[in-house]
Amino acid sequence: MSAEGKKTGIGPVVSSAHLAASGMPELSEVEYALTMANHAFQRWIVRCMDAAGAPGMAPLEVLILHLVNHRDRAKTLGDIRLVLHVEDAHLVSYAVRKLSERKLVVTARQGKEKAVEITEEGAALCARYAEVREALLVDLARENGFRPEEMSRLAALLRALSGSYDHAARAATTL
């Protein structure tokens, strides 16, 4: 049970009591927190991009734009799918096409695959996004007392948990 639940005498904060009634109810707490964090993160990146000057982008477009800008080198569609852990190639292709229409990325053939590169306009937008993020989110995280080492530990736990969900998903397909 979470510290909140212990203080109030109310059970853990979960979205599905029937799933929390298991050998590890804390996992249901994590799943609910992940659901809330995922939706909040997607709202944030879209609104931050709006504030940076590019309204109307979908969350996947924002993520792809930042990834393509990362280290200023071209990424293949396969690279993008792998890094962002997106199974559906169509989703990535559609998002890249929308970014290309906005002139934020350009595409070219790289062997048998399509490669995506950031444009100057796309890089400038990513820089503006970073400024807005620093002013609104990073400063707030510091004010809330989030310590860098705790954030790194949380990231490591989430990556490990992601691997557990992937493993369980593969096992579920064999049932």
Confidence category of residue 5, pLDDT binned at 50, 70, 90? low
- Express each pLDDT in 88-116 by its tens digit: 999 999 999 999 999 999 999 988 999 99
- Express each pLDDT in 121-157 by its tens digit: 999 999 999 999 999 999 999 999 999 999 999 999 9
Query: Do the bridges between strand 105-110 and strand 75-76 make them parallel or antiparallel, or are there none, so unpaired?
Result: unpaired
Q: Which CATH number fits domain 3-144: 3.40.1190.20, 3.40.30.10, 2.40.50.100, 1.10.10.10?
A: 1.10.10.10
DSSP classification of residue 104: S
Instruction: Determine the Cα–Cα distance for residues 45 and 34; give it in Å rounded to an integer.
Output: 16
Q: Is 150 helix (H, G, I), strand (E, B) or coil?
A: helix
DSSP classification of residue 85: T
How many CB atoms are closer than 10 A to CB 166? 11
pLDDT, average across residues 32-45: 97
